[in-house]
Amino acid sequence: MALEPLFLDLIQVYRDAYQTLLTRLVDQELRGLSTFHTKALLRDIDDTVEKLKQYQSDWINHAVPFGYQEGSQAVVDKLTKRYGMTDINVAFGGVHTEAVNAIVRDTFSDIAAATDFMADNLKQAIRDAAKEQYRIGLITGETRRSMTKGLVDKLSRKGFTVYLDEKGRYIPLREYANALLEEQWVGFVDKAGRRWDLLNYSEMLTRTKVLEASNVGTENRMVQNGLDLVLISSHHADDWCRFYENRVFSISGQSSEYPPLSQVPNGGCPM
C-alpha cells in the first residue's frame, strides 16, 4: 500500500513521544516533585501531548484523503481497463469532499480522545505521587524544602525514587518512571472493554479508517457513474472477510436480489 511509509512515520512519532515523556519523568524524579517541579512536569506533558495531537491532525488530513483518492482511482482504472467503460465521471467534489471530511473528523475525534485520556490519567498519577511524596513529611513536620533536598539527594545518588511500593520498599528510579508511564500509556480501554496501548490503538484506528476511506472512495465513484452492485474479491482471508468473499452486495441497499453493502463490517472488504 502506498500509505505504508506514512504508517511507519506515525508509529515512530508515537515512540518518540513515549520516550520524551519517559525522559522528562526520570529527569523530574531526580529533582523531586515539589509544587513548582510538579507544575513544570505537567506543563511539559501538555506540551508533548499537544505536539502529538497536532501531528495526528496533520497525518489524518493527509492520509485519509490519500486513501479515499486511492480507492476512487482504483475503481476508475478497473472500469476502464478491465471492462472497457468510457466517459467515466472522475470529478472530485460534493459528495466526495463531504465523505472525506466526515472520516477525517471521526478519526481525529477518536484518536484525540484516546490521547487525552492517557494524558489526563498520567497527570493525575503524577499529582497523586507528589502528594504521597510529602505525606510522611507533613506527619513528621519536615518542610518540603528539607525533604526535597535531603531525601531526594540521598535517594537519587542511590538510583532510587522517593516513592514506596505497597510493601514500603523504595522503587528504582527508572523502574518507577517506566511503570508509571506504561500504566497510563497502556491504560486506554475501548468501548468493547479491551485494554489498548496508545500506539497500537492509534495504529489500528488509523489503518481501519484509511481502509474505510478507500472503500468509500470506491463506492462513491461507482454510484456517481450509475453502478450499484459490487463483488467482494477473494483473497483467502483468515479474518472475518472470508465470510463475505465472492458475494455480491448493493451499495445503495435498494436491490431486491442482493444484500446491502452496509452489512459488511468496518467499512467493507476489498472489492
Sorted by where each begins, the domain ranges of the chain are: 4-227, 228-271
User: Is the distance from CB of 214 to CB of 269 less than 8 angstroms?
Assistant: no
Of the listed ranges 55-59, 80-84, 135-139, 209-213, the least confidently predicted one is: 135-139
Q: What is the per-residue pLDDT for 270? A: 55
Mean pLDDT of the chain: 80
Q: Tell me: pLDDT of 77 over 90.
A: yes
Which long-range CB contacts under 8 A does 186-189 form with residues at least 24 apart?
187/117, 187/118, 187/121, 188/114, 188/117, 188/118
Asked whether the predicted pLDDT for residue 149 surpasses 50, the reply is no
Higher-pLDDT residue of 140 and 3 is 3
Calculate helix-pair angle for 173-185, 95-133, nearest 10 degrees: 140
DSSP type of residue 268: -
Question: Which residues is 246 bridged to in the sheet?
Answer: none
Q: List the Cα angle 110/223/260 in 5-degree steps.
A: 70
**Predicted local confidence at residue 140, as pLDDT:** 47
- Over the range 69-82, which residues count as b (16 or more CB within 10 Å of their CB) and which as e? bbbbebbbeebeee
State how far the Cα of 35 lies from the Cα of 264, in Å rounded to an integer. Answer: 53
Half-sphere exposure of 194 (CA within 13 A, CB side): 7
Q: Name the one residue in this structure whose C-alpha cell is 506540551.
A: 47
Give dist(CA 31, CA 46) in Å, integer: 19
In this prediction the pTM is 0.78
Task: Let me know the angle formed at the C-alpha of 113 by 109 and 115, rounded to the nearest 5 degrees.
Answer: 120
* Grid cell at residue 257: 436480489
**pLDDT tier, 148 (very low <50, low <70, confident <90, very high otherwise):** very low
Average pLDDT over residues 192-201: 85
pLDDT tens sequence across 3-17: 899 999 999 999 999
Give me the pLDDT at residue 80, please.
92
Residue 179: predicted pLDDT: 64
Separation CA 64–CA 3 (nearest Å): 10
